[in-house]
Structure formats: structure tokens, C-alpha cells
Structure 1
Amino acid sequence: MGPGEGASETDRHLAYEFGRAIAREGWTTLCGGRNSGVMEAASRGAKEAGGSTIGVLPGSDDRDASPFLDLAIVTGMGNARNSINVLSSHVVVACGMGKGTASEVALALKARKPVVLLNSPQTAIEFFRGLDGQRVLTAASVEEAIEHCRALVKGRKRI
């Protein structure tokens, strides 16, 4: 999860590398699916590394879909689609921070899902840890984020 148009160059680079790392683990990348920012970068990284990608789109068609998606889920739900993203994830990893990303992190915490914050501002880290410090982890690198994810999904049944 992460910003679309508001994503920084660092956000996009980390998301691309994170997508590649997810693919190397044999996991599926699930994101907001649009052809911008963190969503596009993570999907592109995953696809270029041979991984599978799913995008949950806000609109009623797939015009905004990243070309790097294996499956584009068209919802017509606008930002309400964030609930689908969160509830369909074993771990929510936020790369960067924006209003939409903040809503996804808050929904994840409300659903008792673990969250990994990668390249998030200290103010966001403090805020989310204030809501649920046990479920909020931080990562200074893609490698650290993957290590957190490995530990969090260890022992989960694959379907």
C-alpha cells in the first residue's frame, strides 16, 4: 500500500524493490492496482521478478489499471475498496504515507492485521503506534520489511 500520484521517488524505488522481493518469496503482490506511484512500482517489480499481482481498483472500469497486473478487480467502490485490500492481506506493508495510505493502515489496525511501515514519516509511525503499538512494525529497508513479513506469515496455511 502507498501513495499514488503523491509518491516520492524514494517511495517508488522502495515499492519496486519490495515487489521484486515479494515475488522472490513466492508471495502474491496485492495493491490498489492503479498505474501510478507505489501501486505501479510494486506491481512492476513483482512482475519483472516473475511474481503474481492483483490490483483492487476504485473505479467502475479498468482504465486506470497498471499494465503489470495479472488480475484487476474492478470495484466501483472508490476509496471504500481499501477495506478489500486490507482484509485480503496477511500483512499490510505501507511504503510511504498519504491520506489513502493512512486510511489503509487504520483499517488494518482496526481489523487486527499486522502493519509494516516502510519509509513512513516519524509522525505517522508515532500516531499509528499510539493506536496499536503491538501491530505496528517499522522497516528501514526492503530487506527488513521482508524479514518482518516472513516472521508474521510463518506457519500460515497457503491456499
Structure 2
Amino acid sequence: MARILIGVMGPGESATVDENMTAYTLGQAIAQQGWGLLTGGRAVGVMAAASTGAQASNGWVVGILPDADDTQMSAAVDIAIVTGMGQGRNVINVLSSHVVIACGLGPGTLAEMALALKLGKPLILLNIHPEIAEMLSTLSTTPIAIASTVEAAIAQTQTFLSQ
């Protein structure tokens, strides 16, 4: 059986301090569950924070990089997938994740959330604006959950994985 990969999607350069702190804690919690972490792989924002958190808890990290090389890769990525696809790599991010957790909001994150809905992947919205969460919920025909803490996001991930 394939190992479990949890995708954490969130803003890069525009990530707030709070989003990065939450992503770090989320990365730690994912690693503590024995799951792998999948991110966009770059050394900025939520991607870097979640990856660093996972590594701090002896987890493993897959980074799906947008460029044709690994020059922007986070040092906390264990397995780099170099795509040369730019934002098109978001499809790989979503399809390769057993569950997608959105942590923060940016245009790329919104695209990944929409792809999760379109491709039927369970989606957890962690600290996402209520208006965005409501809109996505009305569009969803697949599992979607709203979490306000890392602990709630992990509990919901466990629920999705058991279904």
C-alpha cells in the first residue's frame, strides 16, 4: 500500500507570520501521525514552514517544484519533483495528496482548493475566511471540512482517511 501523503497548500511570499506559524505546527503534526507531507516545495511561506515543521518532527517531505530546476527548493524537502510546469504543477500537488489542507489564502492556494473540489479530493480549510469557505462548500460535491486549529485539521484528516 502506498504511504499516506497529506498536501498542505498555502501562500508563498505573501504568507503572514500567523499562517507560517500554523503551517509549521501543521507540518509537525502531520509527521507525528507518520504521514508524509507534500507541498509546493519552495523555500518561502507556508511551503517552507510546513516542510520545516515536518522535518523537525522527523517526518518526510515531498516538494512538487514549479521550475525546471531546484534552485528555489526548501532545504526541508526530502524528495524533490522538478516539473518545469509553473502553476500547472498544482494538479500534481492535488492528485498526489490523499487529503488537501489549505492553510492561508493566495491565488495559487485558491486554485489548488478549486482543483481539490473538481478532482474529488477531501479538502480541509484551516483558518480560511468564512466567505471563501462558504463559497467552496456550496460548490463541493466531495468531502470538505472547516478547521480553526491544527488539532481539528488533524482529526478531520484522520476521519477522511478512514472513510
Q: Secondary structure at the match of 2:84?
A: coil
Q: In structure 1, which of residues 129, 135, 139 is the aligned counterpart of residue 137 of structure 2? A: 129
2:96 paired with 1:88: yes
Residue 89 of structure 1 aligns with an amino acid whose one-letter code is: S
Q: Secondary structure at the match of 2:55?
A: helix
2:103 paired with 1:76: no
2:74 paired with 1:66: yes
Q: In structure 1, which of residues 51, 59, 79 is the aligned counterpart of residue 59 of structure 2? A: 51
Structure 1 runs, 4 residues or longer, greater than 4 Å off: none
Provide, for residues 23-62 of structure 1, a one-character-per-residue CA deviation record: whole Å limited to 9, x for no partner: 0000000000000000000000000100000000000100
Q: CA deviation at 1:123?
A: 1.7
Q: CA deviation at 1:127?
A: 1.4
Q: Secondary structure at the match of 1:54?
A: strand
2:44 paired with 1:33: no
Gaps of 5+ in 2: 1-8
Provide the C-alpha distance between the structure 2 equivalents of 1:154 and 1:121, rounded to a whole number of angstroms.
27
2:35 paired with 1:20: no
Residue 126 of structure 2 aligns with an amino acid whose one-letter code is: L
Paired position in structure 2 for 1:100? 108
Residue 78 of structure 1 aligns with an amino acid whose one-letter code is: G
Q: Secondary structure at the match of 1:33?
A: coil
Identity score, percent: 49
Conservation of the 8 A alpha-carbon contact between 2:24 and 2:53: yes
Paired position in structure 2 for 1:146? 154
Give the alignment's TM-score, normalised by structure 2: 0.93
Conservation of the 8 A alpha-carbon contact between 2:117 and 2:142: no
Provide the C-alpha distance between the structure 2 equivalents of 1:75 and 1:123, rounded to a whole number of angstroms.
33
Give the alignment's TM-score, normalised by structure 1: 0.95
Q: Secondary structure at the match of 1:13?
A: helix
Provide the C-alpha distance between the structure 1 equivalents of 2:88 and 2:100, rounded to a whole number of angstroms.
16
Aligned residues: 155
